[in-house]
Structure 1
Amino acid sequence: MRKTLLIVLVSFLTIPLTITGASVALPGIRAELGAGLAATQWVVNGYNACFAAFLVFAGSLTDVLGRRRVFACGVALFGVSSLAGALAGDIVVLNLVRALGGIGAAAATTGGSSILAAAFDGRARARAFGLLGTVLGAGLAFGPTVGGLLVEWLGWRAVFAVPAAISAVVLSLVRVLPRFGGGEGRTVDWPGAALFTTSLLLLIFALDEGPALGFGSPLVVGALAAAVLLASLFVVVERRSADPMVQLDLLADRRFLAFALAAGALMGILVPLVVYLPSYLISVVGVEPGQAGLWLLMLTVPAVVLPPAGAALARAWPVTTVAASVATSGLGALLMVTVGPDSAPVGMLAPFALVGVGVGLSNGVLDGLAIAELPRERVGAAAGLFNTARLAIETVMLAGAGAMLAALSGGRLEGEAFTGALHTVCLALACLAAVATVCVIVLARPAPSPEAASPMRTESKKNVTDW
Structure 2
Amino acid sequence: MNRRVLVPIAVLLSSAAFPLTITGASVALPGLADDLAASPTAAQWVVTGYNLCFAAFLAFGGSLADLLGKRRLYVSGVVAFLLGSALCAVAGDVGVLVAARLVAGAGAAVATATGQSLLAATFDGRARARVFGALGTVLGAGVALGPTISGFLVDLAGWRAVFGVPAALAALVLLLCPALPAVPGAGGGSVDWLGGGLFTLGLGALIWVSVEAPALGVAHPAVLVGVLVVGAGAIAFARVERRRAAPMFDLALLRDRAFLGYSLVAATMMGLLVPLLVYLPSYFIDVIGLDPTEAGLWMLLLTLPSVLLPGAGAALSRRSPRLLSVGAILVSAVGVVALATIGPGSTPWTLLAPLLLVGAGVGVTTGVVDGLAISSAPTERAGAAAGLFNTARLTTETIALATVGSALTSLAGGQLAGEGFTDALRVVVIALGCLGIVAAVGADALLREKSV
What TM-score does the superposition give when structure 1 sets the normalisation length?
Answer: 0.95
Give the Cα–Cα distance (whole angstroms) in 1 for the partners of residues 428 and 112 of structure 2.
Answer: 30
| Structure-2 residue corresponding to 1:169 | 172
- Is 1:297 the equivalent of 2:300? yes
| Structure-1 residue corresponding to 2:287 | 284
Give the Cα–Cα distance (whole angstroms) in 1 for the partners of residues 151 and 186 of structure 2.
Answer: 42
| Structure-1 residue corresponding to 2:331 | 328
8 Å contact from structure 1 (residues 24, 278) kept in 2: yes
8 Å contact from structure 1 (residues 202, 223) kept in 2: yes
| Structure-2 residue corresponding to 1:44 | 47
Alignment of 1:243-282 (within 5 A): 243-282=246-285
Identity %: 53
Equivalent of 1:81 in 80, 84, 105: 84
| Structure-1 residue corresponding to 2:75 | 72
Equivalent of 2:5 in 2, 5, 16: 2
| Residue 85 of structure 1, CA deviation | 0.5
| Structure-2 residue corresponding to 1:379 | 382
| Residue 186 of structure 1, CA deviation | 2.2
**What secondary structure does 1:372 align onto?**
helix
Alignment of 1:62-461 (within 5 A): 62-447=65-450
| Residue 193 of structure 1, CA deviation | 1.1
| Residue 80 of structure 1, CA deviation | 0.8
Give the Cα–Cα distance (whole angstroms) in 2 for the partners of residues 237 and 140 of structure 1.
Answer: 35
Q: Report the aligned-residue RMSD.
A: 1.0
Give the Cα–Cα distance (whole angstroms) in 2 for the partners of residues 231 and 129 of structure 1.
Answer: 34
Following TM superposition, the consecutive aligned residue runs of length 4 or more in structure 1 with deviations greater than 2 angstroms are 183-186
8 Å contact from structure 2 (residues 257, 449) kept in 1: no
**What secondary structure does 1:411 align onto?**
coil
Query: Which sits farther off after the overlay, 210-219 or 301-310?
Result: 210-219
Deviations 1:282-313 (A, max 9, x none): 00001001100000000000111100000011
Task: Name the aligned partner's letter for residue 219 of structure 2.
Answer: G
8 Å contact from structure 1 (residues 186, 243) kept in 2: no
Give the Cα–Cα distance (whole angstroms) in 1 for the partners of residues 7 and 322 of structure 2.
Answer: 36
- Gaps in structure 1 of 5+ consecutive residues: 448-464
Give the Cα–Cα distance (whole angstroms) in 1 for the partners of residues 431 and 126 of structure 2.
Answer: 41
| Residue 125 of structure 1, CA deviation | 1.2
Give the Cα–Cα distance (whole angstroms) in 2 for the partners of residues 3 and 185 of structure 1.
Answer: 30
8 Å contact from structure 1 (residues 78, 104) kept in 2: yes
Task: Name the aligned partner's letter for residue 212 of structure 2.
Answer: E
Task: Name the aligned partner's letter for residue 301 of structure 1.
Answer: L
Give the Cα–Cα distance (whole angstroms) in 2 for the partners of residues 371 and 191 of structure 1.
Answer: 26
Give the Cα–Cα distance (whole angstroms) in 2 for the partners of residues 271 and 374 of structure 1.
Answer: 27
- Is 1:31 the equivalent of 2:29? no
| Residue 118 of structure 1, CA deviation | 1.0
| Residue 257 of structure 1, CA deviation | 0.4
Give the Cα–Cα distance (whole angstroms) in 2 for the partners of residues 329 and 186 of structure 1.
Answer: 43
Give the Cα–Cα distance (whole angstroms) in 2 for the partners of residues 411 and 61 of structure 1.
Answer: 41
| Structure-2 residue corresponding to 1:460 | none
Give the Cα–Cα distance (whole angstroms) in 1 for the partners of residues 435 and 121 of structure 2.
Answer: 38
| Residue 184 of structure 1, CA deviation | 4.4
Task: Name the aligned partner's letter for residue 280 of structure 1.
Answer: Y
Give the Cα–Cα distance (whole angstroms) in 2 for the partners of residues 310 and 145 of structure 1.
Answer: 25
Task: Name the aligned partner's letter for residue 129 of structure 1.
Answer: F
| Residue 185 of structure 1, CA deviation | 3.4
Give the Cα–Cα distance (whole angstroms) in 2 for the partners of residues 431 and 446 of structure 1.
Answer: 23
| Residue 446 of structure 1, CA deviation | 4.2
| Residue 246 of structure 1, CA deviation | 0.7
8 Å contact from structure 2 (residues 27, 281) kept in 1: yes
8 Å contact from structure 1 (residues 199, 230) kept in 2: yes
**What secondary structure does 1:188 align onto?**
coil
Deviations 1:92-143 (A, max 9, x none): 0000010011000001000100101111111211111111111111111111
Task: Name the aligned partner's letter for residue 220 of structure 1.
Answer: V
- In the comparison of the two structures, how many residue pairs are matched? 449
| Residue 228 of structure 1, CA deviation | 1.7
Deviations 1:207-247 (A, max 9, x none): 11112111221111211220121011101000001110010
What TM-score does the superposition give when structure 2 sets the normalisation length?
Answer: 0.98
Task: Name the aligned partner's letter for residue 280 of structure 2.
Answer: L
Task: Name the aligned partner's letter for residue 128 of structure 1.
Answer: V
Give the Cα–Cα distance (whole angstroms) in 1 for the partners of residues 95 and 403 of structure 2.
Answer: 21
Give the Cα–Cα distance (whole angstroms) in 1 for the partners of residues 239 and 317 of structure 2.
Answer: 36
**What secondary structure does 2:8 align onto?**
helix
Give the Cα–Cα distance (whole angstroms) in 2 for the partners of residues 211 and 37 of structure 1.
Answer: 11
Task: Name the aligned partner's letter for residue 198 of structure 2.
Answer: L
Give the Cα–Cα distance (whole angstroms) in 2 for the partners of residues 317 and 219 of structure 1.
Answer: 48
8 Å contact from structure 2 (residues 268, 439) kept in 1: yes
Task: Name the aligned partner's letter for residue 238 of structure 2.
Answer: V
- Gaps in structure 2 of 5+ consecutive residues: none
| Residue 375 of structure 1, CA deviation | 1.8
CA shift in 2, pair 1:269/1:373, >3 Å = closer
| Structure-2 residue corresponding to 1:453 | none
Give the Cα–Cα distance (whole angstroms) in 2 for the partners of residues 190 and 433 of structure 1.
Answer: 34
Give the Cα–Cα distance (whole angstroms) in 2 for the partners of residues 216 and 9 of structure 1.
Answer: 47
Task: Name the aligned partner's letter for residue 445 of structure 1.
Answer: R
**What secondary structure does 1:444 align onto?**
helix
| Residue 412 of structure 1, CA deviation | 0.3
Query: Which sits farther off after the overlay, 218-227 or 20-29?
Result: 218-227
